[in-house]
Structure 1
Amino acid sequence: MIGADEEGDFSLRISPVTLEDDATYQCQVSSSTEPPLRSHEARLTVFVPPQAPTVTHDPVATAGVPLTLTCSSSGGKPAPEIQWLDGTGAVLHDGVQHTEELMSDEKRVNAHATLTFIPTRHHHARTLTCLTHNPALNTPLAAKVHLNVEYPPEVQLQFSPGK
């Protein structure tokens, strides 16, 4: 507690703030002759940045065969928001499934965004980006995956009559 009798003001200072400080607080003043006086409750919400995202995937994809990429970010409070971006920076929505799981401390969350799509030859050598957002972060965290797609060759035959 900080403050002084002369000022008639007392405050609670929490330093450093930890995840365990995430709680509801109330000030109570009591004397031996009067019932205690209580302030309104004050809720302290502690934000925790998540770990940098990681992407799991097969190192080589085959054109025409579904490919699943999973981006995971652990330990954020609140749960990290995960987005998949294509090579141009556009947000991908189709084929994305989000899941979350509460960690054992029951405050932090592990988040996953699974992207499933059917790669084509045009996906070869492209880069996809996974972005993790959370209020405790000033800028999103990113993980990139470089696609290596095997695809059959295209064969074109040309002939000239008489040769």
Structure 2
Amino acid sequence: MDGGIQSLFHDELKHGNISLKLSNVKISDQGTYKCFIPALEKNSFIQLLVVSDAISGPVISLSAINKARSGVVLQCESAGWYPEPELLWLDGEGNLLSAGPTETLRGPDDLYTVSSRVTVEKRHSNNITCRVQQRNTNQSRETHIHVPVLLYPSLFV
């Protein structure tokens, strides 16, 4: 373990509890751990998966109005993820929207920030959702935006 604190529950040893307590766990501590009991000549392995609790909910911002495409460009960003999440755009009926590639940045703390843009056209529902999720840890955060009809550029032409 890299810099964390490891200890046993000394008062519980007499009851057969040989649990290991890990404190100040970091992302770099993720991996497989082995417990060996010499008297019994037994091994036990456990996989430690570290999940970030510093996740910021996704934030949607109105990026630009693109008259050439007659749509509204929205940007969504969320930070503090580990492991790396995926970002999805959904319309009001829960259908997946086609969006640009997700940009992923990994900070010095090993946490990920993801962002993506989508162009919402008049044919889409006015209610748009940005969802950031990790399938392997079942973590998910989402935010919603209502795009007023008045923001669509073709109405100004």
Tell me if TM exceeds 0.5.
yes
1:89-116, Cα deviation, whole Å (9 max, x unpaired): 2111x3332222211122x211122224
1:68-88, Cα deviation, whole Å (9 max, x unpaired): 322111111122221111132
Aligned to 1:4: 13
Q: Aligned equivalents of 1:29 and 1:124: distance in 2?
A: 61
Compared CA separation, residues 53 and 62, structure 1 to 2 (3 A): same
Residue 144 (structure 1) shift? 1.9
SS of corresponding position for 1:151: helix
Compared CA separation, residues 95 and 29, structure 1 to 2 (3 A): closer
Residue 136 (structure 1) shift? 6.0
Asked if the contact 1:124–1:150 (Cα under 8 Å) also holds between the matched residues in 2, the reply is no
Compared CA separation, residues 63 and 41, structure 1 to 2 (3 A): same
Asked if the contact 2:70–2:154 (Cα under 8 Å) also holds between the matched residues in 1, the reply is no
Q: Aligned equivalents of 2:65 and 2:117: distance in 1?
A: 17
Q: Aligned equivalents of 2:42 and 2:104: distance in 1?
A: 38
Asked if the contact 1:53–1:130 (Cα under 8 Å) also holds between the matched residues in 2, the reply is yes
Aligned to 2:131: 131
Residue 56 (structure 1) shift? 3.0
The yes-or-no answer on 1:48 pairing with 2:56 is no
Aligned to 2:4: none
Aligned to 1:110: 113
Compared CA separation, residues 103 and 19, structure 1 to 2 (3 A): same
Q: Aligned equivalents of 1:77 and 1:59: distance in 2?
A: 30
Which region of structure 1 is more displaced relative to structure 2, 141-150 or 61-70? 61-70
Aligned-pair identity in percent equals 21
Compared CA separation, residues 98 and 126, structure 1 to 2 (3 A): same
Residue 140 (structure 1) shift? 3.3
Aligned to 1:159: none
Where structure 2 has 5 or more consecutive residues not aligned to the other structure, the ranges are 1-7
Q: Between Structure 1 and Structure 2, how many residues are aligned? A: 141
Which structure has more strand as a fraction of its residues?
Answer: 2
Residue 24 (structure 1) shift? 4.1
1:5-64, Cα deviation, whole Å (9 max, x unpaired): 4x454110236x643553543335679xxxxx7845533111124210012333655363
Q: Aligned equivalents of 1:60 and 1:95: distance in 2?
A: 16
Asked if the contact 1:76–1:110 (Cα under 8 Å) also holds between the matched residues in 2, the reply is yes
Instruction: Kindly provide the amino acid, as one letter, of the partner of residue 62 in structure 2.
Output: H
The structure number with the bigger radius of gyration is: 1
Which structure has more helix as a fraction of its residues?
Answer: 2
